[in-house]
Amino acid sequence: MKIRIIVDPDLCIGAASCVTIAPETFALNDENKADVLDHGQAPDGPSYEREVEVTEDEFEKIIMGAQSCPTLAIAIIDEAGNQLYPEA
């Protein structure tokens, strides 16, 4: 399945819970905020937003990473454009 992962850099405070839970998808950048990765890689350079093809297991981890964020800085959107997290 394909999902869009978006980090809001204005909300992100570098608590790094997403990085701990889903290190293949999130990594702290030099600004102490979480970049979005595609399976550990950053094609076309660092970004706060990325569309990623994921397996069921990977999806679970990414959702858990988003849910663990204390400032709700991570949004997950499905292919149809529905926001899966945080619930609107």
Partner 1 sequence: MKIIIIGGGIAGTTAAEEIRKQDSATQITIIDRENYPCYSRVLLMPYVNDKVEREKMILKKPEWYTQKNIELMSDVEVTKIDSKNKFVETSEGRELPYDKLLITAGLNVRYTPEDKRGVVYFKTLDDADQLKSLIKEAIAQKKNKAVIYGGGFIAMDYLAIFDHYKFDTTVLMRSGGFWSKVLSAHAQQVLKDQTELKGIKIINDVREIELIGETELTGVCALGQEFETSILGVGIGLDPDKAVLSAAGIEVGAGIICDKYLQTNVEDIYAAGDIAEYDDATIGRHIRYGNWTNAIMQGKAVALNMVGEKIGFSMVSSYATNLLGKEIVFIGDVDRTAADEVVQEVADKQNSTELFIRNKKIVGAVIIGDVSKRTEITKRIQNREAVSY
Task: Quote helix, strand, coil % in the chain, to nearest 5.
Answer: 20, 30, 50
Q: Footprint of partner 1 on residues 29-88 (CB under 8 A)?
A: 30, 32, 68, 70-72
CA distance 11 to 40: 23
Binders of partner 1: how many residues, by CB under 8 A?
15
Distance between terminal CA atoms of the chain? 21
Nearer to partner 1, 53 or 71 (CB): 71
| Residue closer to partner 1 (CB basis): 27 or 77 | 27
Shortest separation between residue 31's beta carbon and partner 1, angstroms? 8
